[in-house]
Amino acid sequence: MFKTIIMKKFLIISSLIIFVFACSNPDANNDAAAGSTSSSTNAKGNPSYDPDRGEGKFKDVQISEKLDEEKAARGEKVSELKCLSCHKLSDERLVGPGWKGTTVRHRADWLLNFMTNTDAMIDKDPKVQAMLEICMVRMPNQNLTDDEAFEIYEFMRKNDGVE
């Protein structure tokens, strides 16, 4: 009897640890699940879906190497209003994954499409679905304008150390 209680506690604690750890590393987690060939996973589910670009109006977006400080500052303001209640700037999860490294994990067009076409991408993107499984909250569409999405993207780049 005593042993079973200890065992149960141990199971609960260890699953909590795995849960927190897994969610703070959405990419590592996804790589393990999807293997190195995201396109083969993709071919089974959504043959027309491009997991590198996502789905939406943005394609082959060119971003200048140097950070646009003004844009990043505007992006920070919008993020404070609409995003940072669920996202930390570190790599720690809050409700959604931390933003640190997100511009390294994803291409610009993927991020811009995800920010402006959130619902469709949650339904189709294998990386987002892996995150959803861990975070258990569906990110609500934030109704961003294209300009706001670019500003937030610039702020994310600043957060990732671009100067």
**In 3D, which of 146, 130, 118, 133 has the Cα closest to residue 55?**
118
Q: Smallest gap, in angstroms, from Cβ of residue 69 to ligand HEC?
A: 19
Q: Is 77 in the site for ligand HEC (CB under 6 A)?
A: no
Q: Is 105 in the site for ligand HEC (CB under 6 A)?
A: yes
Please work out, in degrees rounded to the nearest 5, the angle formed at the alpha carbon of residue 82 by the alpha carbons of 116 and 16: 95
Q: Site for ligand HEC (CB under 6 A): how many residues?
A: 27
| 74-88 b/e (C-beta count within 10 Å ≥ 16 → b) | bbbebbeebbeebbb
Q: Which of 41, 82, 88, 160 is in the footprint of ligand HEC by CB under 6 A? A: 82
Scanning residues 17 to 56, which ones bind ligand HEC (CB under 6 A)?
Answer: 26
**In 3D, which of 145, 142, 128, 157 has the Cα closest to residue 57?**
145
Please work out, in degrees rounded to the nearest 5, the angle formed at the alpha carbon of residue 13 by the alpha carbons of 9 and 17: 170
Interacting stretch for ligand HEC, rule CB under 6 A, among 5-13, 31-39, 49-57, 126-134? 126-134
Q: Give the residue closest to ligand HEC by C-beta.
A: 96
Q: Which residues bind ligand HEC (CB under 6 A)?
A: 26, 82-83, 85-87, 95-97, 102, 105-106, 111, 114-115, 122, 128, 131-132, 135, 137-140, 142, 144, 152
